[in-house]
Structure 1
Amino acid sequence: MKSLFFPIAIFVTAFISSIQCLDLESAKEQPCFKIKKTVPLITDDWVQPEPKAIYYPLMSRLDLYRNAIDLLQKDPAEISESELYYDACIVWKCNNETYFSEGFGGRTREYTADPEDDKMEVYTMRPLKGKGYGGKAFTTYSDNETFFFTAVCGDDGQMAWNVASLTPTLPRESVKIIHEHALSLGFKKEFFTELRYDRCHFQNDI
């Protein structure tokens, strides 16, 4: 009986582990594609004055995985899926021309943004130090009040998207508009995901 139970226990443990860990390959939706239309990110009436932090409530699964892996500086197999959606608490901040993400209890990662124009319609992001989440970003939609939508062609050749917001949650009507925009670009509903900020206790004031 023991000889039968032991391999079953190993199988169950491995199966549960495979479910909980991040599977980066399964999150890859499609290769980078051409973005036909962009909109200005920087305008006279948008984000004035500059906010202390930008929230990250909606995104594709791949974009969330990329951010989590870069912040934690871990292999995807070492990151639990369950810790992402309530414990990540990712926000973006800006200090002069340096941008950085913060999450997972105060971990930070700095980036540089190299714009192709003065309106930040298209720009390239790179980690300030070492390798990590980088690629070309395209601002494709904004309500010019609360949020903007960015499509990202990552250095891995895969397309993803995210939404930056002045508020941790968005009205359902805004979420509907965002999801419709993502679908119009060719992204798939089954890869949509979101972050919750209900249990977040930020290390630095925002």
Structure 2
Amino acid sequence: MYSFNQLLVLVVTTLTAFNSTSYILQVKGLEIETVFEQDCIDPHPNVARNLDYAWMHSIPRWYIPLQSKLNMYRYSETLLKTRVANITQDQIDSSCLSFKFDNPPVLYGFGDKMVGYTTTNVIENSYGFNTRWEGDTRGRHYLTLRDNKSFVFFTTCWTDGKASWSVISTVEDLGEETKSQIFEHAKSLGFKEDLFLEQGYASCPKIGDADELRKNEL
């Protein structure tokens, strides 16, 4: 049988070990260096032309179902206002990202999080951007593929010289044929297939109509 003092030491030791383990699990986040790819090309040589801006601005809210992991990490940092080392994969998996072209453009995700962007035109179908989170996140978006009916593909050049890509879509799921076209385009630009990220919206809140969205404007 244990004495009272032995039991006390055992309990304290167990609690200390548990708290240490909990702390490690709590702070264990993602590593952005693991998703770095190519350095960006600025300005990008493959900018697409003839974008239908009236169509683009007519969509109340865009989904972001396809992107590179670096792009997701950067968007997550911006919305959660913390570095990716403090963000878990579970949070990434339930981010439910969406975007609205407005004045200012707004990125939404992680429940009630949103951030507005300031933008400047660079060349046709390209623009510089900066968020309202001081110190982050700046760069340039280059439109390199679009169909003027369901999606727009952007290549992003960040201020640290790293490149990423993302697709905004009018629908939650673009379908296999369109996704294959997008993935082939990403690979043609030098992006790595093992760093492609596809996210579903089945468990996300449904996006309302334009009038409802305006209630949440910045």
- Which of the five TM-score ranges fits, normalised by the shorter chain? 0.7 to 0.9
**TM score, norm. by length of structure 2:** 0.79
1:116 pairs, out of 115, 119, 122, with 122
- Residues 55 and 90 in structure 1, CA contact (< 8 A), matched pair in contact too: yes
CA RMSD of aligned residues (A): 2.7
Shift of 1:185: 0.7
Q: Which residue of 2 aligns with 1:164?
A: 168
- Aligned partners of 1:13 and 1:164: how far apart in 2? 39
Q: Is structure 2 residue 204 aligned with structure 1 residue 200?
A: yes
Q: Are positions 1:62 and 2:66 aligned together? A: no
Partner of 1:74: 82
Cα distance, 1:134 vs structure 2: 1.8
Q: Using the alignment, how far apart are the partners of 2:119 and 2:108 within structure 1?
A: 16
Residue type of the alignment partner of 1:88: S
Aligned residue in 1 for 2:39: 31
Tell me if the contact between 2:38 and 2:190 (Cα under 8 Å) persists in the aligned partners.
no
Which position in structure 1 is the counterpart of 2:180? 176
Report the counterpart of residue 102 of structure 2 in structure 1: 95
1: CA distance, partners of 2:122 / 2:188: 24
| Cα distance, 1:28 vs structure 2 | 0.7
Q: Deviation digits for residues 78-105 of structure 1, max 9, x if unmatched?
A: 21112212x1011111333x11111111
Matches within 5 A, 1:34-49: 35-40=44-49, 42-43=51-52, 46-47=55-56
Q: Which moved more, 1:24-33 or 1:195-204?
A: 195-204
Aligned length: 194
The C-alpha deviation readout for 1:35-66, integer Å capped at 9, x for no partner, is 2221137426743x611101100000000000
> Identity of counterpart residues, as a percentage?
29
Deviation at 1:199, TM superposition (A): 0.8
TM-superposed CA distance for 1:19, in Å, is 11
Task: Choose between structure 1 and 2 for higher RCO, CA contacts under 8 A separated by at least 6 residues.
Answer: 1
Q: Quote the residue 1:186 is aligned against.
A: 190
Secondary structure of residue in 2 paired with 1:95: coil
Which one of 130, 134, 151 corresponds to residue 155 of structure 2? Answer: 151
CA contact (8 A) 1:105 1:202 kept: no
Q: What TM-score results when the alignment is normalised by the length of structure 1?
A: 0.83
Match of 1:142 among 142, 146, 152: 146
Shift of 1:77: 2.0
2:5 aligns with: none
List alignment gaps of at least 5 residues for structure 2: 1-9, 214-218
Paired amino acid for 2:119: A
Q: Which one has a bigger Cα radius of gyration?
A: 2
Q: 1:105 aligns with which of 98, 111, 128?
A: 111
Amino acid at match of 1:99: P
